[in-house]
Structure 1
Amino acid sequence: MKLAVNGQQLARTYSLPEVLDVLTGFGVDAIELWPANVGPKPGITLSSPEEAERWEGRDLEATAALLQSRGFSVACVTLGFWAAPVCFASGGASAFTEALRGAVDAAVALGSKLVNCYSTGIPLKLFGQAMRPAAAYAAERGVVITLENEAHDESGPPASVRKIADEIASPGFGTQYDPCNYYHSYVEPYPAAYEEIQPHIRYVHLKGGCRYDARQTGVHKGSVMRDSDRDHIGYVPLPEAAFPIEAIVRRLKKDGYSGFVTLEPHVPPAALLEFYAIEIPYLRGLLES
């Protein structure tokens, strides 16, 4: 398994060259890229909400050259979190399919075999309609699109993720496994959720989750994550997660998973470096043991 870091949180504070500087300082040479990490092509303005979530029009050539010069690989290319609802609002399922195809093209241009996406804001039934042609396109290009399970939409229950993956049944489609997101959806992340979706796992995210309690000290609250009617979502360093990180990594190894495991602490920008200093050596030790 290979260690990577998610570029989403870093994009709030750093340009892509600065992001690479940060990761190099921690000995990391693989990144998950989001549209926010990559600027537009010269002469192009990407200003609409939909353009902000998509990959079309971004300067992939310059980005690929930068990554190569810095010795970085791209673990995954992620479509924006709100891509599904904004695309459906503008053009229905076909618009979301085209956005997924654009992300596949970006992955190919950047040397990645993975595209990650979300069903946030739309029913999984509509997600499946858009995904089937996109998954076929991805398979033709040697890419897999993964659905990331989220805490508060229809991808929260692992049985729903397993069902949509079984229905699409394409080599170009699988699921991401994010145990923290399952934990925050009130599902046992391991072993229950893992075993439900294991045949379809193609990518892994890790972050340390807990139930946020304002009375606690030393707990960084990442965001309320649309859960105003539930316990607040809290985040702690990976070794302190409320679910068994070490057991999860051992099981992934046992089951032959050899892809990227990407860190993505959901904490305020000021806390990111503090978390990396704890989490990167910890996870590297687990992956290399």
Structure 2
Amino acid sequence: MIHLSAFADEISADLDEQIAVLKSENIHFLDLRSVWNTNVLDLSDQQIASVKETLDRQGVGVACIGSPIGKVPIDSSFEEHLQRFERAIELAHILQTRFIRIFSFYPAASKGGEGNQPATYRDEVLNRLKALLARVQSTQLVLLHENEKEIYGDTIASCVDLLKNCEHPQLQAAFDPANFIQCAQVPYPDAYDALQPWLRYVHVKDALANGEVVAAGEGVARWPEILERLRADGYDGFLSLEPHLALSGRYQGFSGPALFRRASQALQQMLQAMGWTYA
């Protein structure tokens, strides 16, 4: 059975309000990206303990650590980034999730022009992803690569390149149709077919042809067909709402309670119309 989750910081910075809106929408999981305007990796041990106690008491699970790992320039200090990654691993264990969302690095901050094209830093991206994988090989954790605009793995071809060349069961794809639209890629069927061998997680948002983010089913991603294909392929993972309806920034989007509910209901109405049971 599929389960619904959400980047709950799209609702509010306040954890209690996040949970209240999730429960009003019958959503029992969240992707933990930030709370109290603080990124998940920067929360103190005390704050994490408070988050866990609150979530446990309210019956809300953590589907994924929505980390910013890999969302830095490729020429930034990797040693410092590895320390943040170790924190992500620690939090995944504490919060009892198998999934950590990652990215595949922005171009070098110190270069421009042709010297900063994806092919010039491909090898370093692969080396860094393999180093991240080495840190989780003794665990049951799965790294979910999100196809984010302007990172190495933003197009279909580059996503397939890194997934094939790392080729590890603990590196899988978080499929984000709207992000592909913003990179002038066709999410369905092109991206779906290409990534299907690695498709382990789905981010739910949509976009118009010009890249403007809209609720699922209102753009050109072909969400009803994506959902039908997921069911036909036996998908039984998370559908995670990441609406970005009020603000779509480089590091975090925002919707607010009302727009989040609109996005949630758009997804749930499609699932109900096709008779796909979810929890």
Deviations 1:253-283, CA, capped at 9 Å, x for gaps: 2222211110111111455245235324325
**8 Å contact kept, 1:136–1:170:** no
Partner-residue secondary structure (3-state), 1:140: coil
| Greater mean alpha carbon deviation, residues 67-76 or residues 275-284 | 275-284
Q: Does 1:119 align with 2:104?
A: yes
Alpha-carbon distance in 2 for matches of 1:264, 1:202: 16
Q: Does 1:68 align with 2:56?
A: yes
TM-score (norm 2): 0.81
Q: Does 1:288 align with 2:266?
A: no
**8 Å contact kept, 2:32–2:62:** yes
Report the residue type matching 1:4 in the other structure.
Answer: S
Report the residue type matching 1:25 in the other structure.
Answer: S
Alpha-carbon distance in 1 for matches of 2:86, 2:170: 11
Corresponding residue for 2:252? none
**8 Å contact kept, 1:108–1:141:** no
Q: State the 1:96 CA deviation.
A: 2.2
Alpha-carbon distance in 2 for matches of 1:24, 1:82: 31
Q: How many residues align?
A: 252
Corresponding residue for 2:66? 78
Q: State the 1:181 CA deviation.
A: 0.9
Partner-residue secondary structure (3-state), 2:168: coil
Seen in structure 2, the aligned counterparts of structure 1 residues 246 and 277 have a Cα distance that, compared at 3 Å, is closer
Q: State the 1:95 CA deviation.
A: 2.5
Partner-residue secondary structure (3-state), 1:74: strand
Q: Which runs of 5+ in 2 are unaligned?
A: 108-120, 247-254
Report the residue type matching 1:20 in the other structure.
Answer: I
Question: After TM superposition, which residue ranges in structure 1, 4 or more long, deviate above 6 angstroms?
Answer: none
Alpha-carbon distance in 1 for matches of 2:52, 2:270: 27
Q: State the 1:164 CA deviation.
A: 0.8
Partner-residue secondary structure (3-state), 1:54: helix
Corresponding residue for 1:27? 26
Q: State the 1:142 CA deviation.
A: 0.8
Q: State the 1:173 CA deviation.
A: 1.1
Deviations 1:150-195, CA, capped at 9 Å, x for gaps: 2333212111111111111222211211111111111111111111
Seen in structure 2, the aligned counterparts of structure 1 residues 197 and 159 have a Cα distance that, compared at 3 Å, is same
Percent identity, aligned pairs only?
22
**8 Å contact kept, 1:176–1:202:** yes
Q: State the 1:236 CA deviation.
A: 2.1
Corresponding residue for 1:276? 263
Alpha-carbon distance in 2 for matches of 1:146, 1:200: 9
Corresponding residue for 2:41? 54
Alpha-carbon distance in 1 for matches of 2:37, 2:241: 23
Corresponding residue for 2:208? 210
Structure with more relative contact order (C-alpha pairs < 8 Å, separation 6 or more) = 2
**8 Å contact kept, 1:128–1:164:** yes
